[in-house]
């Protein structure tokens, strides 16, 4: 099963944080072992922005953390393509989330991936498969 991590799910997976649900963790590990685990490049921006604003404190310098967090075997970074960026503005059903969420949802849809997210607004959206 192809899966993509929402930013918080990625952070929690990397940190082995118990806030990542057992179902979410299982889906992540299954996708990783199959080589079908994805992360939107925009999640990297989100983490960097949170560090810049002091909203997130990492256990090492940002670049070192990103080097480790983006290179586990089976994890791929989905680049921001023109198609994804445009689709994020045209999501069916009037997606009401933040722009970052819209980009991640559009990326999940373009990959045909299930989105691992705790975000209830995304889970209620209905135009993208989610798991938590």
pLDDT in tens, 69-116: 999 999 999 999 999 999 999 999 888 889 999 999 999 999 999 999
pLDDT in tens, 13-49: 999 999 999 999 999 999 999 999 999 999 999 999 9
CA distances from 41 to 32, 34, 61, 76, 117 (A): 17, 20, 19, 10, 16
pLDDT in tens, 59-71: 999 999 999 999 9
The confidence score (pLDDT) of residue 61 equals: 97
The confidence score (pLDDT) of residue 94 equals: 82
User: What is the arrangement of strands in the sheet containing 75-78, beginning at the earlier edge strand?
Assistant: 75-78, 37-40, 3-5, 114-116, 130-131
The confidence score (pLDDT) of residue 120 equals: 96
pTM summary value: 0.94
Task: Give the three-class secondary structure for 66.
Answer: helix
The full set of domains in the chain, from first to last, is: 3-131 (3.40.50.1010)
Strand 3-5 to 114-116 pairing: parallel
Q: Record the tokens describing residue 49, joined without a space.
A: 């922005």
């Amino acid at each position: 099963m192809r899966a993509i991590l929402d930013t918080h799910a990625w952070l929690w997976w990397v940190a082995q944080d118990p806030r990542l649900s057992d179902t979410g963790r299982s889906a992540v590990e299954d996708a990783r072992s199959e080589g079908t685990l994805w992360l939107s490049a925009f999640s990297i921006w989100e983490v960097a922005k949170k560090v810049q604003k002091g909203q997130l404190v990492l256990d090492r310098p940002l670049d070192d953390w990103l080097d480790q967090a983006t290179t586990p075997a089976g994890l791929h970074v989905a680049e921001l393509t023109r198609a994804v960026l445009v689709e994020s503005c045209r999501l069916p059903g009037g997606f009401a989330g933040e722009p970052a969420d819209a980009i991640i949802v559009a990326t999940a849809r373009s990959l045909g991936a299930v989105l691992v997210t705790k975000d209830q607004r995304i889970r209620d959206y209905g135009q993208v498969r989610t798991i938590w």
